[in-house]
Amino acid sequence: MSMGSGFDIKTLVRPNVLNLEPYHSAREKVLEGVLLDANENPYQEEWEGVCLNRYPDPFQRKLRRALADCLGVGPESIAAGVGSDEVLEWVFKVFCQPGRDSVVTAEPTYGMYQVTAGVFGVDCHCFPLSESFDFDAQGFLSAVPASAKVLFLCSPNNPTGNLLNQEQIRMVCRNWGRIVVVDEAYIDFAESGSMLGDLDLFPNLVILRTFSKGYGRAAVRLGYAIASPEIISFFLKVKTPYNLSALTMQLGCMALADRESRDANISSLRRERERVRSELTRLDGVFLVYPSDANFILFRCREASAIVNRLFDKGIVVRDRSSVPGLADCIRVSIGLPEENTLFLTELARLLGGN
């Protein structure tokens, strides 16, 4: 099935979701007035100006408006969840019938796509990225099973760090009449390469973003999908009515308003990334340092697992990826504060030098 001009998203939506009458929460129509409709406690409780005794806005209006203004899309193209992990679940709920439909991941990649498929009882096929960790759309199109409903791509990819080629992503969006999810969790660390500008071209494209990385708000648990208003309407249909707390939404709006400190953090993380990369390249025992558009670096080194353990003993925690297919000898290190990066580099040099 390819994307003709008559593409109809409804043919991909699970029939039970298509026909579902969603739960109508008391707070859909009004947020103010004499509110005697939701069995709330009327005695006002506030924390930092956030109302705690009333249910939060199920339609996330303020947050979606603020995000829309930042991204240059309409609020009807956005839905926010408890981390992008929740948004991933909506993809399965809306499009994947357990036991019948399947999904595809482009490996090696972020493990949650496969785990979430397992949770929902949906088969997950692994399609390999190339040796340079790029996505081959033609190869995918000729190999993809008929049962596949969703392809998960991650760009910049975790754990390899590279942006996927945009032309290849466009090719698969154009020629595969199913859902293409592009997880842009790390896009703020890349100079360019977002698929956001292609949203109007591809009604089957879903972009995932998060506040956990560039915005530095991992503890808040806030992520969102950007997609056609029709896809978003199905996500809103399957989400729980009050998935985001008022605090979460307020913290999200505050993060969006504080662009200056976000941009400053991102600039210094990019600078540090290049410093760590160039220092790693110089170390004896480091075979290869992959380029990165994210806030981490993947590198191959001698005795990777042993090195990870010995760094751990020194209180330096990095991610051993050496047992992942295609990632023999690989370690993934996140970019930390400058002094943390220096400690890591010094200790790694010492361990590789045999001291």
Of 94-102, 139-147, 210-218, 303-311, the segment contacting ligand PMP by CB under 6 A is 210-218
| CB atoms inside a 10 Å sphere around CB 138 | 11
Backbone angles phi, psi at 180, to 5 degrees: -115, 115
Q: Which is nearer to ligand PMP, 331 or 351 (CB)?
A: 331
Maximum CA extent, the chain: 72
For residue 148, state whether it binds ligand PMP (rule: CB under 6 A): no
Pairing label, strands 286-289, 50-51? unpaired
CB of 210 to ligand PMP, least distance (A): 3
Q: Facing residues of 240 across strands? A: none
For residue 220, state whether it binds ligand PMP (rule: CB under 6 A): no
Q: Which two tokens stand for residue 133?
A: 């960790």
Q: Which is nearer to ligand PMP, 183 or 272 (CB)?
A: 183
Instruction: Specify whether the CB–CB gap between 215 and 198 falls below 8 A.
Output: no
Amino acid sitting at position 325: P
Q: Which is nearer to ligand PMP, 91 or 351 (CB)?
A: 91
CB of 175 to ligand PMP, least distance (A): 24
Burial of 48 (0-12, 13-18, 19+ CB in 10 A): exposed
Q: Which is nearer to ligand PMP, 97 or 166 (CB)?
A: 166
Instruction: Specify whether the CB–CB gap between 150 and 208 falls below 8 A.
Output: no
Q: Facing residues of 298 across strands? A: 332
Pairing label, strands 123-128, 102-107? parallel
Of 80-88, 173-181, 303-311, 330-338, the segment contacting ligand PMP by CB under 6 A is 80-88
Q: Which is nearer to ligand PMP, 35 or 253 (CB)?
A: 253
CB of 248 to ligand PMP, least distance (A): 12
Q: Which is nearer to ligand PMP, 70 or 141 (CB)?
A: 70
Of 36-44, 57-65, 81-89, 306-314, the segment contacting ligand PMP by CB under 6 A is 81-89
CB of 5 to ligand PMP, least distance (A): 32
Backbone angles phi, psi at 150, to 5 degrees: -135, 135
For residue 110, state whether it binds ligand PMP (rule: CB under 6 A): yes
Q: Which two tokens stand for residue 30?
A: 């009004």
Residues that bind ligand PMP (CB under 6 A): 83-85, 110, 154, 158, 183, 185, 210, 212, 218, 223
